[in-house]
Amino acid sequence: MPFNLSLAKREAAGLRRRLPVIERVSGRHLSAEGKTYLNFAGNDYLGLSQSSELRTAADAAAQAFGVGAVASPLVVGHQAIHRQLEDELADWLAIESVLLFSSGFAANQALILSLLNKEHTVWQDKLNHASLQEAALLSPARLRRFAHNNMAHLAKLLAPQSGLIISEGVFSMDGDQGHWSQLVELAQATHNWLMIDDAHGLGVLGKQGRGTLSAQGISPSRVQITMGTFGKALGVGGAFIGGSRALIDYLHNHARGYVYSTHLPPPQAAAVLAAVRLVRQADDKREQLQTNIAQFRAGAANLPYLLLPSTTAIQPLIIGDAELTVQLASRLRERGYWVGAIRPPTVPIGAARLRITLSAAHT
């Protein structure tokens, strides 16, 4: 297969990706190649990944259950710690039932591929995450994409009782939020299901960090499917699908990505459980994060590049040219700041950017 040709084309376009090796992470710092940097590239929005409470919980679970689940959930992989985490998530988010997955990508694919058939249509925001877009393309359903946060465009595309509308709580590359009041109204008016991917809103927005729906005053009962991840504000890894008991029971039986995968390691589940309990009480960290966001935006207001109007931890600075974006990220690294250089195909051509992410750990 023409691997070298494909890589050469990306190299020539300034789009080839290379894997950095991070040697150590400590609070707001990371170390690589013997140097220490301030980390403005990760998604540890509340600074919990280094929490002693999470480490202690993981250690205790390793002693009680071992370090691996050793089987898929429906065999012997679903252990007491997994059930505790599911119950805590359901209580926190006021949803009936929850299913755990190894990642947000896995959760989105398992959900969409098991739920939709050729009689369905799936409507997606054009800026939805790659996991959502790819799952829809792989499914037998018809994919229709609407312009970003353009509710008038979505309304023109919708057909009654024929499928699933999907949008994000906080968009991972732009940092803005979905228009959830209008999405709920459109879904109800056309009798279609509605799904939120709240990977980047969970933990940092809303009462007790319940996410985008809470922040926008929307009852979770009005959105049939919730996907959230544990690798951003919760500081661990993994994901969940939440919804009605009937939906979760259906996924137990039909979601191949769940049925045929080894379950989350018990220490990971225990760390997530500890993180959820901390997040529910973490108003001080959320306030610190908002203070940091305001301070950054004030300081960046006069830069010669477009700072997108985000009020979340994701602060995108649009550079435009991919090569220049990489150069700027490299110059920042020379000065001790690790910032993500985001280029096509992750973002559209001409929209390369520095994706600057803030954390409550930045003080």
18 confidence band (pLDDT: 50, 70, 90): confident
So what's the pLDDT on residue 333? 96
7 confidence band (pLDDT: 50, 70, 90): confident
Q: How is residue 18 written in tokens? A: 């290379």
So what's the pLDDT on residue 21? 87
Q: Which of the pair, 10 or 266, is modelled with greater confidence? A: 266
Mean of pLDDT over the chain: 96
115 confidence band (pLDDT: 50, 70, 90): very high
Q: Averaged over 113-121, what is the pLDDT?
A: 97
pTM score: 0.94
Task: Give residue 114's region: left, alpha or beta (phi > 0; psi -120 to 50).
Answer: alpha
Domain at 52-279, CATH class: alpha beta
Q: Is the dihedral of CA 89, 94, 98, 101 positive or negative?
A: negative
Query: H or E segment at 319?
Result: strand 314-320
Q: HEC profile for 189-258?
A: HHCCEEEEECCCCCCCCCHHHCCHHHHCCCCHHHCCEEEEECCCCCCCCCEEEEECHHHHHHHHHHCHHH
CATH topology of domain 3-50+282-357: Aspartate Aminotransferase, domain 1 (3.90.1150)
> Which residue is it, tokens 């353009």?
150
Q: What is the pLDDT of residues 326-359, one digit of tens each?
A: 999 999 999 999 999 999 999 999 999 999 999 9
Q: Which of the pair, 245 or 14, is modelled with greater confidence? A: 245
Q: Residue 6 burial by CB count (10 A; 0-12/13-18/19+): exposed, middle or buried? A: exposed
Residues across the chain: 363
So what's the pLDDT on residue 111? 98
261 confidence band (pLDDT: 50, 70, 90): very high
238 confidence band (pLDDT: 50, 70, 90): very high
Sequence spans of domains, the chain: 3-50+282-357, 52-279
Q: What is the pLDDT of residues 180-219, one digit of tens each?
A: 999 999 999 999 999 999 999 999 999 999 999 999 999 9
Q: Averaged over 254-269, what is the pLDDT?
A: 97
| DSSP assignment letter at 309 | -
Q: What is the pLDDT of residues 84-106, one digit of tens each?
A: 999 999 999 999 999 999 999 99
So what's the pLDDT on residue 13? 78
Q: How far apart are CA 27 and CA 99, in angstroms?
A: 30
Q: How far apart are CA 117 and CA 186, in angstroms?
A: 22
Q: What is the pLDDT of residues 294-321, one digit of tens each?
A: 999 999 999 999 999 999 999 999 999 9
Q: How is residue 202 written in tokens? A: 């969970």
Q: What is the pLDDT of residues 125-158, one digit of tens each?
A: 999 999 999 999 999 999 999 999 999 999 999 9
Active site members? 43, 129, 168, 172, 197, 200, 232
118 confidence band (pLDDT: 50, 70, 90): very high
Is 16's pLDDT higher than 90? no
So what's the pLDDT on residue 14? 77
Is 360's pLDDT higher than 80? yes
